[in-house]
Structure 1
Amino acid sequence: MTVPVIVESMAAHQEAMEKTIVSLQEAINARRFGELASMCETFELEMAAKGLEKPSDWPYALHLLGHIYISDLNGARFLWKRVPSAVKQGQPELVAAWKIGQCLWTYDYAGVHEAFKGYSWSPAVQQIVAAIKDEYSKKNMILLSTAYSTISVTDAAKFLGLTESETIKSTTQNGWTLDSSSNMLTAVPMVTATAQKLDSSKLQDLTEYVFSLEH
């Protein structure tokens, strides 16, 4: 292989990466987080078609979190498995992003909240992590209101990843009532136009989790 060919290949890699980063940043700025995973996969296919390998600084964290945002945990797992070991060792932000996926996969509610705040995210990644956290909190509020008629502020706070004062504010804004003498919340089932269908396994996982908090 001659030097000019090597230089041309490096230039192609750089051009592809710049295109990827610019497009991903535009999607993030527009809060089109649901497009990130498919965009990364499209760029991967384009690079493969040109005979180019993904560079070591490929935005794996954004790619993985893109899958998590659309609740594609299988996609996130498969991406994690195919990431080279050297890249995992060199990208702590990717490892931190995967921690979120791991906890979601195992219904480790407390672990998910810890994973959200367990790393000093870069600006672009912080935006999608915040969006995932917001969606996760909304789903958990729906789940909690479906599974329980009453729950203590302390237990609800642990499940929602909020302080007790934040929990009271958030739940009462959604129509729940607080008995200040017992510090118990009375839930109001939350119904939205896009409410997720709750399966029995999720309700069982939640019941077991809250039971563990109480004992």
Structure 2
Amino acid sequence: MDFARLTEALAFKSYEKIADICDELMLQAAAEGVDYQDEWPYVIHFLGHLYVDDINSARFLWKSIPSTIKENRPELVAVWKIAQRLWIQDHRGVYEAIHGFDWCQEVQGILVAFSDLYRRRMFQLLVSAYSTISIHDAAHFLGMNEEETKNYVTRRGWIVDVASEMLTVKKQEIGREQKLDSSKLQRLTEYVFHLEH
């Protein structure tokens, strides 16, 4: 099986392309009748779907993997734990699953990029949903301890009230020409609903 495109995407840190490349290669192998399962980079493929926030495709991929492969690849089971935490919106659990396994060198680049991207998504969610939030709650969403959280948010203009242990969120200026995609609005609505309940 020729993984040159995948290798190139990983080398250039084009992680947003990984899921599509792997999906195409998998379809090509299936169409040609090639038995690819033993050599397939399932962990990279899985992380590619998580990177582009496609949990449903990640779940479908998990279901399509033979149980013998799942049983013999602990790293694959570890990446599935990340997806499970994403699915139930256990934000701290996502970070714990990321840091709770000794990942191979090949996976570390995309995993670090995914972790950073996920933290930025959570930060944007907090900016969108809150005007004030406790340090404890912000730490939960950002996967940091409280001191790290204070440092992270103050570098982004938030104000810390040490006495009340609350953070005042700095709202971002919205450009006049910015258009809001309805699917993003729906996802934001679902996140805010989840945060409030």
TM-score class normalised by the smaller sequence: 0.7 to 0.9
Unaligned runs of 5+ in 2: none
Does the 8 A contact of 1:142 with 1:190 survive in 2?
Answer: no
Rg comparison, structure with higher value: 1
Which residue in the other structure is 2:79 paired with? 97
Does the 8 A contact of 2:86 with 2:94 survive in 1?
Answer: yes
**What displacement does 1:153 show?**
1.5
1:6-55 Cα offsets, whole Å, 9 max, x none, are xxxxxxxxxx1xx21x4323211211011111111222222223321113
Match of 2:103 among 121, 130, 139: 121
Does the 8 A contact of 1:142 with 1:189 survive in 2?
Answer: no
Cα separation, 2, equivalents of 1:67 and 1:78: 10
Cα separation, 2, equivalents of 1:185 and 1:156: 8
1:79-138 Cα offsets, whole Å, 9 max, x none, are 100100000001111111111111111111121111111111111211111111111111
Which residue in the other structure is 2:189 paired with? 200
Match of 1:87 among 60, 69, 93: 69
Q: With structure 1 as the length reference, what TM-score do the two structures score?
A: 0.81
Alpha carbons of 1:194 and 1:37: their partners in 2 closer, same or farther (altered >3 Å)?
farther
Cα separation, 2, equivalents of 1:119 and 1:169: 26
Which residue in the other structure is 1:170 paired with? 152
Q: Residue type of the partner of 1:85?
A: S
Which residue in the other structure is 1:151 paired with? 133
Unaligned runs of 5+ in 1: 1-15, 209-215
Q: Residue type of the partner of 2:165?
A: N
1:180-205 Cα offsets, whole Å, 9 max, x none, are 23222111124577985353221121
Q: Percent identity?
A: 41
Count of paired positions? 190
Alpha carbons of 1:115 and 1:190: their partners in 2 closer, same or farther (altered >3 Å)?
farther
Does the 8 A contact of 2:125 with 2:188 survive in 1?
Answer: no
Cα separation, 2, equivalents of 1:52 and 1:162: 44
